[in-house]
Amino acid sequence: MKRGKKSQGNILVIVLIILLVLAVIVVVWKVVRNTVTESSEQVSTLPFTIELKASSIPYLVNDCVYINIKRDPGEGKIEKIRFIFETSSGEQEDYIEENEANFPKELESREFVFCINEITRIDIDDIIKVSFVPIFENEVYGIVEEETILDICQDVVNCIDNDDLCCPTSCDYNNDNDCPQLTCTDVDGDGYCSESSSSGCDNSVCPIDYDDCNDGNDLINPGASEVCWGELDEDCDGLVDAEDIDDCGGCSGTVSYAITGTETCINQYSSTYSCDRASNSVTSDYWFGLSTGTPKWVYGDLGSKKCISGVKVYISNLDVPQTMDIQVSDDAVSWTTVANGWTVTTGETWVEKTFTETQGRYVRFYMTSCARAYCNFRDFEIKSRSYLG
């Protein structure tokens, strides 16, 4: 009986030891599980290590800002890139790039170009700084201590010739010969570029070193003549129409047709067909010359210097075709031809001829050919406006 009780006691001790070991195992497991869970949570909240850097100094040319960005190694996904542009006066404008196809991959550089279509609220030519910062997935992850801020290189040509003159740091950021090589552009093909070589580009495509103020219109350039109406600056001197005293002499007012005050002619057939009948607002009477053939001429006096841009004539049906040069003068002695070899082929109606506005007091019709030897004017009027010079 004593042996049986002893065996039972041993079994009880073993059971207690097993239970104690199991309890220790449970406690240890709980501690380990909590540690693993905390570590997992810490790992899940660690930020990604994406970093973007400039691979060269940004530069400004032809109304566009060029920025090259390189992505360093690191995990994570970029959702957007925010660019901030700043002018010399402190004005700023943001641009958010959302197209993933434009984002650089690891160890890759991408060029971003921003022109006047993207930068609309500030003067792009006055931008002196640009900064950029990546925006990450959920706008939570990522190590970004501060945004990257860079000076804009505005002296690109000197940068090409001598890096030290371009920006506070070298334009050739990584010494990989990536500075821009610029060529002046002549979009409208009129021989004048949109920039002069003094602005920094190679002007070999344009023969003359002047800015074309409208490179989309080949009639507007520094070599064109100012047309003194139409509200355009044809010769690119910054002055429009009457403002351009040198070219337009201060022309102003509304253009209209009027007869001349006094008419003079080479000859007249008789007093019934006298010179003064050539311009008197009456088409039922008229001037005839002698039957001596051409050349013949008639001129009218406007009374003072005017800005002249056209004529209209009314000729007898019997005397067309009639060919003539239209000439302008300040003194009725020296004449300048403004329309050469104009032929009127229709009679008994008004026929108009316009030309580039010019200044003068007298307008002469110098006839070189007429259907009959007399030549004829039933009436003529001059298109002009006031001259303020």
Q: What's the rounded mean pLDDT across residues 53-78?
A: 77
Query: What distance in Å separates the CA atoms of residue 388 and residue 386, rounded to the nearest whole number?
Result: 6
Cβ(215)–Cβ(205) below 8 Å: no
Give backbone dihedrals phi and psi of 35, rounded to 5 degrees, phi first. -65, -45
Encode pLDDT of 210-230 as tens digits: 678 888 888 998 888 888 777
CATH 3.40.50.150 fits 254-387, yes or no: no
pLDDT bin (cut points 50, 70, 90) of residue 35 is low
Query: What distance in Å separates the CA atoms of residue 163 and residue 155, rounded to the nearest whole number?
Result: 10
pLDDT bin (cut points 50, 70, 90) of residue 74 is confident
pTM for this structure? 0.42
Of the candidates 167, 158, 161, 102, which has an alpha carbon nearest to the alpha carbon of residue 130?
Answer: 167
Phi-psi region of 335 (alpha: psi -120 to 50; beta: other; left: phi over 0): beta
Of the candidates 257, 333, 324, which has an alpha carbon nearest to the alpha carbon of residue 297?
Answer: 324
Q: What's the rounded mean pLDDT across residues 109-123?
A: 87
Instruction: Give the pLDDT confidence score for residue 381 in this predicted structure.
Output: 97
Query: What distance in Å separates the CA atoms of residue 371 and residue 354, rounded to the nearest whole number?
Result: 23
Q: What's the rounded mean pLDDT across residues 40-65?
A: 63
Instruction: Give the pLDDT confidence score for residue 42 in this predicted structure.
Output: 43
Check pLDDT > 60 for residue 37: no
Check pLDDT > 90 for residue 172: no
Domain segments of the chain as ranges:
52-165, 183-224, 254-387
Query: Average pLDDT over the chain, rounded to whole?
Result: 79
Return the CATH number of the domain spanning residue range 52-165. Answer: 2.60.40.10
Residue 6's contacts (CB-CB under 8 Å, 6 or more residues apart) are none
Higher pLDDT: 9 or 324? It is 324
Which amino acid is residue 12, in one-letter code? L
Q: What's the rounded mean pLDDT across residues 244-250?
A: 71
Which amino acid is residue 378, in one-letter code? R
Which range, of 150-154, 163-167, 189-193, 196-200, averages the lowest pLDDT? 163-167
Q: Which of 63-77, 142-156, 354-368 ranks highest by mean pLDDT? A: 354-368
Q: Judge residue 297's burial from the number of C-beta atoms within 10 Å of its C-beta, 0-12 exposed, 13-18 middle, 19 or more buried.
A: buried
